[in-house]
Amino acid sequence: MLSNFDIGIDLGTANILVYSKSKGIVLNEPSVVVIDTETKNVVAVGHEAKEMIGKTPEKIMAIRPLKDGVIADFDITTEMLKHMMRKASKKLGFALRKPNVVVCIPSGSTSVERRAIQDAVRNAGAKKISLIEEPVAAAIGAGLPVDEPVANVVVDIGGGNTEVAIISFGGVVACHSIKIGGDRLDEDIIQHVRKEYNVLIGERTAENIKMEIGYGLTDHEEKFMDVRGRDLVTGLPKTITLSSYEIRNAIRESLLHILEAIRATLEDCPAELSGDIVDRGVILTGGGSLLNGMEAWLSEEIFVPVQLATDPLESVAVGTGQALQYINKIQAGVK
């Protein structure tokens, strides 16, 4: 059984979440670190660091040490995890004890990437580390019966990647992982505004546009939004008005790649489990699944029911924390 000193960590490209059985989600902060490039000291981590993106002087740099769900900068990831685990320890009251940690990993990650995650978490102060694949954690967190011999289809759209998996009897039956997620949609919007209006906008502005007027490829009532950026011709601030239709077109290609991954996974499904999918449908988790009209669009395209998990942003973290009771059946790697 889980003890109060077991925690689950969702090591996401966009956010890091820490889950404890006794207190639920105890930490949810952006995966951003601000460092002083001259002294190499960490200036800020999490929410405070995200506020600084695009607003720092030259020698102060905001870094996202996780890319596409894996570690891009080992040392900075370790520092970030130390800060996060220290914050979580204070809230949970085990500052003097090393916790057992379950960490989620992308299903397509290599043994080198898995080892890097284990080492970073161990260096940050963990005692025993278990790994669980992201889609399995998302399915557990969404309340699906992963240990039963029925098909559970999970589409986890994170910041750096999208994982589509069919899970049955505690294991992944079929899975496709692509390096397209919420961050790619933000990048699509930045490029569109630059190309069409000669205006440069930042990551946070692009994210706000996506959340406000971003839509899946389905019919909707057109919405408009005023956006401020820097005119690339004059160098002066400029305000432009964007339409939800043009944003839908800007992110169209990335959304079609996600749909392609879902279709490819469903095509790999064994015939015996296909009937379950028609009955039970597909569950969406991750921040990207909150895009307006995403459920309706996917449901039209794949002809099976699609529904959003109760807490799509927290499903992976909750599942990671609850995974120890399944860990004997889910052998993603216990070290």
Binding-site residues for ATP sit at: 13-15, 207-210, 287-290
Residue numbering of the annotated binding site: 13-15, 207-210, 287-290
Contacts of 59 (CB under 8 A, 6+ apart): 36, 37, 38
End-to-end CA distance of the chain: 18
166, 263 contact by CB (below 8 A): no
Two structure tokens written together for 105: 């990993």
Give the number of other CB atoms < 10 A from CB of residue 143. Answer: 15
Look at residues 329, 333, 279, 332 and name the one whose alpha carbon lies nearest to residue 147: 329
- Tokens 């699509």 identify what position? 188
Gyration radius (Cα) of the chain, Å: 20
Sequence letter at residue 56: T
